Amino acid sequence: MTETRRRIITFGLLLANIMAGFEGTIISTAMPTIVADLHGLSLMNWGFTIYFLFNAIGTPIWGRVADIIGRKRSFLFGTAIFVIGSLLEGLATNMIWLIIARGIMGIGAGGMLAIPFIIFSEIYPVDQRASVFGFTAAFGGISAVCGPLLGGWIIDVLNWHWVFFINIPIGIISILIVYFAFREKSEERHAKIDVWGSLSLSIVILAFLLGVQLIGQAYTPVIWAIAFLLVAIVFGFLFVRIERNTHDPLIPLHLFKNKDMLLWDLMAFVGMGFYISFSVYIPMWAQGILLTSALAGGATQIPTAGLWYSGSRFGSYLSKKRNHHLTAVLALSFALIGTLVLLALGMTPNYAFFIIVGALLGIALGMLLTTSQVGVSEAVTSNDLAVATTLNRLFNTLGQTIMTAIYGLVFNIVVNHQATKLGLPSAKISGLTNSAVTSDSKAQLLIMHHVLFAGIKSVLIVAFVLLLVALVLEIGNIHLTRIKKQSVQ
């Protein structure tokens, strides 16, 4: 394959990846207008949740589909589903219609986000994978940051329908580029779709993620969260039993004996789980305590997204000189230093600290997550590459979802405790992130700032512990590997 053809294919895959990244956040600025137009305030949260749920459900299934019908056809099929979902969503006349369409988009997005990394692993040599993985991840991060801005601009210039219609020409261009440029090697495939395995795993992921999300919600009875988690456990055992007795399992169980792959999946979980603490709570710190505008609060994320690619390139260089695990140790150390700086800051720091720390964390996350993807691609055989790659993407999603719920739970507990301790009326708690408007006096404003600050600091402490555990595991793995090598010699 020529370098020109490889770049054209990469461009086509990047278009789809960026589109799926935009869709996860672009709706945040569009949703108030959509809800007002479709009269669906009570269903608003499902407009956000359904996309990520079906994305997570579809991700591991797309890996198996790619093994059966090929990477090219799987990508084209997934992108086509996304485009159809975009059309249906743009045409929605009520919230139920819109939510169903977003579920369809989520299924397509699962393939659009995972399959490009499988194709990259096959068309790029090992020494170039880190670079292209990092480039793709950086564009995904930038699209996620810019999504709300683009959504607001489209609504101001056109209307909310075009937030979804804009995906159609871009998706078609991506499909045409990959269809004509990518010539996949013809291989005879005898595998079949594991229907019962797919169904049971889908129930596991759906029930688990719903249960985890409900844990972080203050006004939902905990019994519902427990019920969903129990369903996930029961169907998890059922899934394992099905996979053991299936000739063509959805996820070969021997992969879970691959310690190197599992460690890289854990790093993917930690990386995205940590990123949520910064991407959600630092803008909250800027807006709720420093009283910046929403735009300035969102701008704290730009250095992180912008330096993600630089981090991946630096990580690739270190991996060539040393090895992937030492790169992960350095990345985790950078993230720990950045978190320590945030923990050391007072309640009203200079805004520049957020920018500087964000830049450091962008380098750290670029190193860690890109190294994780490359590590997985090298830890498995070519026969398991598609499934292993989509599993790594699934751990990304699980890291975001699970840690979002844990951070939310910790934040709510600390905020409510501090509010009671400082005598803040319960009616004021919901207005903490807009304290300048909801406070009645300067004294109450100061109390609200202290309460919010305590909640944010508690989240950062949890994130610090998460990183520390990951660092200990990586150092332990390096030490055990050295001992094994010495014993062999």
List the CATH number of the domain containing 429: 1.20.1250.20
What is the per-residue pLDDT across 279-294, written as a single tens digit (0 to 9) for each? 878 888 888 888 887 6
What is the per-residue pLDDT across 347-380, written as a single tens digit (0 to 9) for each? 999 999 999 999 999 899 988 988 888 888 888 8
Average pLDDT over residues 250-278: 88
Assessment of whether the complete model's pTM goes beyond 0.85: no
Q: Do 325 and 182 lie in a common domain?
A: no
Q: CB of 467 within 8 A of CB of 335?
A: yes
Asked whether the predicted pLDDT for residue 486 surpasses 80, the reply is no
Q: Do 225 and 359 lie in a common domain?
A: no
Among the three residues 247, 264, 281, which one is the final residue of a domain in this structure? 247
Q: Do 29 and 94 lie in a common domain?
A: yes
Among the three residues 142, 159, 186, which one is the final residue of a domain in this structure? 186
Q: Do 234 and 283 lie in a common domain?
A: no
What's phi and psi for 137, nearest 5 deg?
Answer: -65, -40
Q: Do 162 and 220 lie in a common domain?
A: no
Residue 7, exposed/middle/buried by CB under 10 A (0-12, 13-18, 19+)? exposed
Among the three residues 143, 165, 186, which one is the final residue of a domain in this structure? 186
Radius of gyration of the chain from Cα atoms? 23
Domain that holds residue 91: 1-186
What is the per-residue pLDDT across 33-86, written as a single tens digit (0 to 9) for each? 777 777 766 666 677 677 877 887 787 788 778 877 888 888 999 999 999 999
Q: Do 300 and 448 lie in a common domain?
A: yes
Asked whether the predicted pLDDT for residue 306 surpasses 60, the reply is yes
> What are the structure tokens assigned to 152, written together?
């607001």
> What are the structure tokens assigned to 274, written together?
């940590």
Q: What is the pLDDT of residue 340?
A: 96
Highest mean pLDDT out of 262-276, 292-306, 369-383: 262-276
What is the per-residue pLDDT across 90-117, written as a single tens digit (0 to 9) for each? 898 888 888 889 889 888 888 888 888 8
Q: What is the pLDDT of residue 473?
A: 93
Q: Do 477 and 335 lie in a common domain?
A: yes
**Three-class secondary structure assignment of 294-344:** HHHHHHCCHHHHHHHHHHHHHHHHHHHHCCHHHHHHHHHHHHHHHHHHHHH
Q: Do 161 and 262 lie in a common domain?
A: no
Q: What is the pLDDT of residue 191?
A: 61
Q: Please tell me the total count of domains within the chain.
A: 3
Alpha-carbon span 377 to 122, nearest angstrom = 10
Q: Do 78 and 120 lie in a common domain?
A: yes
Q: Do 210 and 298 lie in a common domain?
A: no
Alpha-carbon span 38 to 134, nearest angstrom = 39
Alpha-carbon span 459 to 408, nearest angstrom = 8
Q: Do 286 and 388 lie in a common domain?
A: yes
Alpha-carbon span 139 to 8, nearest angstrom = 16
Alpha helices, H only, 158-258: 162-165, 167-181, 195-215, 222-244
What is the per-residue pLDDT across 206-261, written as a single tens digit (0 to 9) for each? 888 778 767 656 566 778 888 988 998 999 899 888 888 887 777 778 888 888 88
3-state secondary structure (DSSP) of residue 6:
helix
What is the per-residue pLDDT across 133-159, written as a single tens digit (0 to 9) for each? 767 776 766 676 666 667 767 777 888
What is the per-residue pLDDT across 74-94, written as a single tens digit (0 to 9) for each? 899 999 999 999 999 889 888
Q: Do 398 and 277 lie in a common domain?
A: yes
Q: What is the pLDDT of residue 341?
A: 95
Q: What is the pLDDT of residue 336?
A: 96
